[in-house]
Structure 1
């Protein structure tokens, strides 16, 4: 028993340092084991780059403004939606016509400025030409240039011997054919044949001359409009070559080309005025020639159909 007690005491003394070591290690702050455990995660686990990106904006972000300044610091995506203009309303027909007229007027003014002085004269001639053509069409329609029914029926009635009916058909008419036929019928009934012929020819010439009024002006415009265009072209070419000479060795071909095309505008404008004037002149002359032919035909038929006066014999 004594030996067993001595053995138990010896075992207690031998195992006492083993239990005292861990307790001392936990109480001591300078133990090497906690330091190795603290440095081990820093070496074994890598530092991720996302950590600084998250921390820096959080630290540098300014405080949100208050009041009206807060509305100005909204995200940029909301600004276009708030400042977007309302959709444009479609233009009405009158507004479209007004816009078209304004554009045409601007182009016309630019064309007149580029053409020089000659283009203004040609523009005035174009206005006069248009007015003459419209006036001449109205005048020919007024004198019955395209109407020949009444005069033809009157001549046919006279050929049948119905003198009073023929005169009633054309009496008071304003057509040139009807007037000449009415004059011929009246002259045949009141004057001798030779004097009736002279009276009919006089009235026919008078009305035909009135119908030809304005054709001389159209002929003049058709002649001088291209000449004015050529004059403007020559003056523009002179100005272009003068500018080219002044430029000397630094001459730019574009300068010469610009002067040439501006000078050629007057030639094109002159032809644009002369061509309609010449065409209208030819048409009006053809209409008047047809009127003259109808008048001559009607007068000849009237005088041929007139019954010759009975000659009295000398014995009677």
Structure 2
């Protein structure tokens, strides 16, 4: 008779039960770290979407084409190309072009207005980075705090047990305490990686905006440049 192979299907409740067990072992520290992990994930997803809306990874060709048109003396065409664009590069380039074309502003005033717009746009690009930086900083500290408190509790139990102390129980208390440090690092590492990535994206945006503003203000302005666009607005 052929042997019958019995396949055990893992219960779907086991992972959840294990998570609840770990939360209970870690105490308040690991509960706070778990909350931070949810907030960090939400911030990373939101920041990725926000940078995509601001055109961090697209909109570059149109922006560069407009700046090239401006540098070649086609001011009106460059302004029309950027009209209605909502990417951060395009908004800065258009603001710089309009400030340059405004007859009521001299070069220094136009540059000051362009700098003001650039700072406002970069603040939008950097929004949400401070909370993520805070999570990357305090998550391992919370883990360390939970470990220290757990070690204190373990050695207090060892002292109270006296000569009847069980080394296995002490080892169990220690690994339970170290669990919070591991959890804190597990949250802090992805948060730090995401923060570094977002910083590099914003730095690239800032560089592109500075380069475009410099090219726009270095190009001599043609007579009556931008008058059609300014009149339309």
- TM-score if structure 1 supplies the norm length? 0.65
Who wins on radius of gyration, i.e. which is larger? 1
> Is 1:102 aligned with 2:16?
no
Partners of 1:101 and 1:210 lie apart in 2 by 43
> Is 1:220 aligned with 2:131?
no
Equivalent residues, number: 216
> 2:117 aligned to 199, 203, 208, which one?
203
Alignment-derived partner of residue 44 in structure 1: none
Does the CA contact (< 8 Å) of 2:73 and 2:222 recur in 1?
no
> 2:48 aligned to 127, 137, 141, which one?
137
- Name the structure, 1 or 2, with higher relative contact order (CA <8 Å, separation 6+): 2
Unaligned runs of 5+ in 1: 1-86, 310-316
Partners of 1:101 and 1:206 lie apart in 2 by 49
Q: CA deviation at 1:246?
A: 1.4
Q: CA deviation at 1:276?
A: 0.7
Partners of 1:164 and 1:241 lie apart in 2 by 77
Partners of 1:193 and 1:103 lie apart in 2 by 69
> 1:185 aligned to 72, 97, 107, which one?
97
> Is 1:173 aligned with 2:90?
no
Alignment-derived partner of residue 255 in structure 1: 169
> 1:231 aligned to 140, 145, 165, which one?
145
Deviations 1:81-104 (CA, angstroms, capped at 9, x unpaired): xxxxxx99x99xxxx8xx675332
Partners of 1:184 and 1:155 lie apart in 2 by 11
Q: 1:104 to 1:306 in 2, by over 3 A?
A: farther
4+ long deviations beyond 4 Å? none
Partners of 1:289 and 1:102 lie apart in 2 by 45
Secondary structure in structure 2 of the residue aligned to 1:205: helix
> Is 1:157 aligned with 2:89?
no
Could you say what the CA RMSD is over the residues aligned between the two structures, in angstroms? 1.9
Secondary structure in structure 2 of the residue aligned to 1:201: helix
Q: 1:131 to 1:100 in 2, by over 3 A?
A: farther
Which structure 2 residues correspond to residues 63-82 of structure 1 after superposition, within 5 A? none
Partners of 1:101 and 1:173 lie apart in 2 by 49
Partners of 1:139 and 1:150 lie apart in 2 by 20
Q: CA deviation at 1:111?
A: 1.1
Unaligned runs of 5+ in 2: 224-233
- TM-score if structure 2 supplies the norm length? 0.88
Secondary structure in structure 1 of the residue aligned to 2:138: helix
Alignment-derived partner of residue 125 in structure 1: 36
